[in-house]
């Protein structure tokens, strides 16, 4: 049974089509895995048991009649609890929404269900104000299946754990650019799975809650839905189903998916960096260097590189300013939200080594964070355009850029935004986790995270692979070649 719950989504779909297993059998296997382990991991916050069983029965009956719903016919999935699901509670980990039951599905949910997927339930997120630890005010904290003393990452922490622990074949998270950057990539890194942040504007956010329902659409940059999975093939499949323009969000450009050449690994030109912003943990650096050597041995051209002429500290400040403009009016102003923001600003500004605090001290732009103006927003957009263009130009000669995901592996549970010790040095929390992922929320470039290895105490380490904007299929092809060379995916013991 556990082998069935760790089978890739695309393989499950083929097995169901070939009648080697029924959708009902697959759903029951996942429900059993959830019942066995979720009470400890807390990855799933709302189960859809009756709905999943009913739809699995319908999927089997449809196949018996020769009907195929789509590429995910009968495949069980979960969805981050930020996405509205018709008739099924959707909370975003936010107390005012604890009893909210939407009347329609988010666009990404509709597209996956239209492809035949079966919704098992909703995965436990960080709250709408974001943390890197899978905590909110409604549900128990999410625990990492590799070690329960460690968090899952955030804000798509429950999504990553559901995939890592065999609770679901696919999940859709969201890679957020607020206090928490990299909300798909950092949990994928912490939990040893695969995650894709598409190009900003590639996938519709209709029905995604950071903006509370019935409020104006405020969030128009630095947030994008994306899949989490146990293989590159599953990322490709899920992404191809959810990407594309949407009448509910008409600002999305109707850019078709790219059709890349399938280059052999010997033809790839790969840049890599292990310290373009802050030093990383020794374990991460060592495993990254080993991965680079493996790629070179396979014939890829790999070169230590980072783009010149970019002020990363200024980029961090720009990120905070633009995030403030986007998120300030997305939710009602409450004392709880203000308190969490002030806690974040205080701890980031006072904890950790002084030199590292300077890289992202949000107190330097405190007024603009707490009370952004239209002028601030327009200026931030203009500066963002310049940053995007510089990265576009810098990345043009490369097939992809390989970087760490974070300066730290998963860290032990702790109060929100507390400093993190990395090899004897105290890092501000957001710098330790976000320094390598924030720039690509700001720039909008797509990035894949794949498993790269493990620390000496057995925690997963991910590799971030950054590509050109609007070239996700090319990026996934490159990521597949890198993944084939490294072969680092493992399932956590006991699941």
Catalytic residue selected from 8, 22, 80, 122: 80
Q: Known catalytic residue: 65?
A: no
Catalytic residue selected from 126, 174, 178, 183: 183
> In sequence order, which residues have a C-beta less than 8 Å from that of residue 40 and are 6 or more positions away?
143, 148
- In order of 33, 212, 325, 345, the CA distances from 330 in angstroms are 36, 7, 10, 19
Inter-residue contact 181 to 436 (CB < 8 Å) = no
Phi-psi category of residue 309: left, alpha or beta, with phi > 0 → left and psi -120 to 50 → alpha: left
The Cα–Cα gap between 229 and 227 comes to 6
Inter-residue contact 162 to 459 (CB < 8 Å) = no
N-terminal to C-terminal alpha carbon distance within the chain: 11
The Cα–Cα gap between 288 and 486 comes to 10
Catalytic residue selected from 8, 22, 126, 155: 155
User: Which residue's structure tokens are 């990363």?
Assistant: 312
Q: Known catalytic residue: 8?
A: no
Other Cβ atoms closer than 10 A to 107: 24
Q: Known catalytic residue: 349?
A: no
**Residues with catalytic annotation?**
80, 155, 183
């Amino acid at each position: 049974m556990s082998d069935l719950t760790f089978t890739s989504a695309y393989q499950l779909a083929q097995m169901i089509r070939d009648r080697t297993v029924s959708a009902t059998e697959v759903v029951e296997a996942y429900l059993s895995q959830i019942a066995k382990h979720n009470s400890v991991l807390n990855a799933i916050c709302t189960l859809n048991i009756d709905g999943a069983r009913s739809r699995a029965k319908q999927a089997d009956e449809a196949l018996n009649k020769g009907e195929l719903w789509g590429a995910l016919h009968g495949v069980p999935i979960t969805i981050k609890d930020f996405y509205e699901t018709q008739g099924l509670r959707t909370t975003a980990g936010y107390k005012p929404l604890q009893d909210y039951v939407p009347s329609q599905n988010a666009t990404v949910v509709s597209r996956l269900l239209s492809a035949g997927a079966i919704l098992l339930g909703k995965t436990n997120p960080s709250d709408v104000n974001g943390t890197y630890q899978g905590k909110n005010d409604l549900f128990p904290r999410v625990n990492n299946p590799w070690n329960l003393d460690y968090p899952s990452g955030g804000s798509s922490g429950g999504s990553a754990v559901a995939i890592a622990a065999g609770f679901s074949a696919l999940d859709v998270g969201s890679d957020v650019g607020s206090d928490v950057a990299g909300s798909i990539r950092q949990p994928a890194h912490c939990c040893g799975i695969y995650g894709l942040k598409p190009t900003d504007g590639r996938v519709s956010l209709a029905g995604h809650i950071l903006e509370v329902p019935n409020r104006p659409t405020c969030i128009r940059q630095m947030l994008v839905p994306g899949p989490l999975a146990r293989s590159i093939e599953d990322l490709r499949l899920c992404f191809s189903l959810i990407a594309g323009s949407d009448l509910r969000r008409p600002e999305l450009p109707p850019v078709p998916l790219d059709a890349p050449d399938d280059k052999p690994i010997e033809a790839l030109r790969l840049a890599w960096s292990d310290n373009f912003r802050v030093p990383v943990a020794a374990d991460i650096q060592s495993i990254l260097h080993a991965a680079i050597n493996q790629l070179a041995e396979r014939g890829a051209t790999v070169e230590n590189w980072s783009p010149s002429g970019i002020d990363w500290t200024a980029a961090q400040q720009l990120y905070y300013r633009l995030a403030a403009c986007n998120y300030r009016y997305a939710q009602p102003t409450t004392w709880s939200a203000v308190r969490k923001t002030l806690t974040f600003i205080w701890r980031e500004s006072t904890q950790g080594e002084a030199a590292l605090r300077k890289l992202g001290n949000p107190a330097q732009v405190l007024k603009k964070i707490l009370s952004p103006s239209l002028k601030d927003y327009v200026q931030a957009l203009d500066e963002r355009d310049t940053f995007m263009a510089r990265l576009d130009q810098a990345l043009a000669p490369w097939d992809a850029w390989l970087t760490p995901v974070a300066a730290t592996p998963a860290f032990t549970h702790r109060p929100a935004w507390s400093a993190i010790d990395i090899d004897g040095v105290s890092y501000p929390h957001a710098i330790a986790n976000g320094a390598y992922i924030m720039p690509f929320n700001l720039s909008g470039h797509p990035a894949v995270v794949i498993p790269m290895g493990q620390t000496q105490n057995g925690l997963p380490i991910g590799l971030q692979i950054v590509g050109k904007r609007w070239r996700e299929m090319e990026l996934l092809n490159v990521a597949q070649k890198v993944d084939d060379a490294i072969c680092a995916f493992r399932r956590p013991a006991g699941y």
